[in-house]
Amino acid sequence: MRSVNLHLIAFLLVLLTVVGFNWQYGSETLIFFGFAENKELEIRLDNPGVIKNIYVTSGSKVSKGDVLIEVAQTALEMDQSDLSHEIAELNSQLIFWEAATRSSISQLKSQKIAKENAILSQIDQLESDLSIKKSLLIDLESIQPATDQSGKSPNVIKIEGLKKQLELIIQPIDSEIKKLQNELNSSSHPLKSQINKLKNQISFSNSASEKLKLTAPRDGIVGSIFCKEGEQVSSFNTLLTFYEENPNQVKAYVLENLLLKVKLGDSILVNSVVQSASNCKGVIIGMGSRIVEIPERLTTNPAIKFHGREIIIEIPTENEFLQKEKVILKLNSTENNQNDKVIKVFTPPKITSSIQD
């Protein structure tokens, strides 16, 4: 009789334990493990070159825009040198042409002044003679000065002729001066056009050179460096990796027999294994297309191989997780109805761990 009572008491204790587990974890359907991490960004070079300078080391914290690696391209540097030399030669020719043009303008101005002064001097002399004659004849009303059919005196006719001559001489000189001045100020001169074309090529080449300065895409940390100074690198080779300081995703694995319990868009609670206060909510954003071997770090017995499906959970970057920190993930079941909860009381707990730690 005593033995029956002991068995009954043991059965009741087990039943109470099962009910307690279900009551505590009834809203949770799945527990598994993963790593908090950042997907590393690979920094590559579009064209081959030589590593000129490496300004960072693995683990360096950098800010957005900081120069990480500087690469030199021999062909590009030679092109820039040739272009600069050609521009310098054309500039010398341009300076010589501008000096010669200014000299021509100066000579034309001097020529204009000389011819203008010579004719104006003759006009002044004739006007002076005309003035003197008028003053001598002012009191001799009976004597009239000689005139032609138009009534103009010879001196007046000469003065008018000289003024027309001055205009005919000065106008071509002014036109030539204006033409040369416009050429000096114009940007369409062949030498200037050629220089501008080469400068545009230099600017394009400089833009290409800027692309050879690999900069940090955002604030973060330098991962691995796969090159060294002086090394010749091929195009599209990974030179270094880069990641943000805080993890932004979790890589986890779900055992094969639990795959149907997980789907894209599910909300998951992420907790640190060692920092109980560190937690956040994540969302499943990716699921692997094949079954893979689960890493040993997520297993308790390395001798036994476990397999499952890889899933990716997106988490906020404002978190306290370390890179590659092991985390616990709990998938909440919000779709269970009341009947399911009643059944749980009489069945083993639904809490399942992908690999017990």
Alpha helices by DSSP H, 138-257:
154-185, 190-211
Residues 132 and 169 placed together within one structural domain of the fold = yes
- Write the CA distances from 53 to 33, 163, 230, integer angstroms: 41, 76, 8
Instruction: Give me the number of domains the chain comprises.
Output: 3
CATH code where residue 317 lies: 2.40.30.170
Measure the CA–CA gap between 114 and 116, rounded to whole angstroms: 5
Residue 112 lies in a domain: yes
Residue 350 lies in a domain: no
Measure the CA–CA gap between 186 and 41, rounded to whole angstroms: 51
Residues 83 and 152 placed together within one structural domain of the fold = yes
Assigned token pair, 252: 């986890």
In 3D space, the residue among 247, 254, 243, 282 whose CA is nearest the CA of residue 266 turns out to be 282
More confident residue, 267 or 8: 267
Residues 64 and 147 placed together within one structural domain of the fold = no
Instruction: Please say which residue of 189, 208, 227 terminates a domain.
Output: 208
Tens of pLDDT, residues 55-110? 999 989 999 999 999 887 765 555 666 777 788 888 888 888 888 888 888 888 88
Residues 96 and 53 placed together within one structural domain of the fold = no
Cα(first)–Cα(last) distance of the chain, in Å?
Answer: 42
Measure the CA–CA gap between 44 and 211, rounded to whole angstroms: 11
- Find the domain containing 321 and state its range: 22-38+246-345
Q: Is 271 a residue whose pLDDT tops 80? A: yes
Instruction: Provide the β-strand partners of residue 310.
Output: 253
Q: Considering the chain, what is the average pLDDT of its residues?
A: 76
Residue 15 lies in a domain: no
Q: What is the pTM of this model?
A: 0.44
Assigned token pair, 177: 């001066």
| Cβ contact 222:57 at 8 Å | yes
pLDDT confidence band for 25 (50 / 70 / 90): very low
Tens of pLDDT, residues 287-315? 988 899 888 888 777 788 888 889 999 99
CATH code where residue 230 lies: 2.40.50.100
Question: What confidence score (pLDDT) does residue 61 get?
Answer: 92
Ramachandran bin of 144, using left for φ above 0, alpha for ψ from -120 to 50, beta for the remaining angles:
beta
